[in-house]
Structure 1
Amino acid sequence: MLRNAFEPWHLILILAVLVLLFGSQKLPDMARGLGRSMRILKSEAKALKDEAPAEPPRQGSTGAH
């Protein structure tokens, strides 16, 4: 069904709409901000992963039936 859902002409169309909406001056700033956000998200996700306890919590009864 979605075999060829995202083709190269879709990217061209999306880029053209972005240029029309925001102008070519704003696009580099937006891309830079998106890159910073992605780096922050990646570092926070890594920090959460490193904080996880070494032993996973046990499954089963807790004694309160």
Structure 2
Amino acid sequence: MTSKMTFEANKRDEQISHDTWLTQQVNAAFVYMENGLAVFVSNEEANVQMADFKAEIRSRNNPL
């Protein structure tokens, strides 16, 4: 049986792991940007890309 204390400790470890991962992702994005490799898109283009992405995911879950 898992005690609440053990659960909270595991949850805290998971959070630290996620924080570490997120920090690495942000740092990598800044390095990418500083090296001139980043591509910025307008809000309108981002919305179009997200709509296409959502449509693709929905079509996978709804085979006709």
**Which TM-score tier does this pair reach, normalised by the shorter chain?**
0.3 to 0.5
Normalising by structure 2, what TM-score?
0.47
**Higher helix residue share:** 2
Of the two, which has the highest radius of gyration? 1
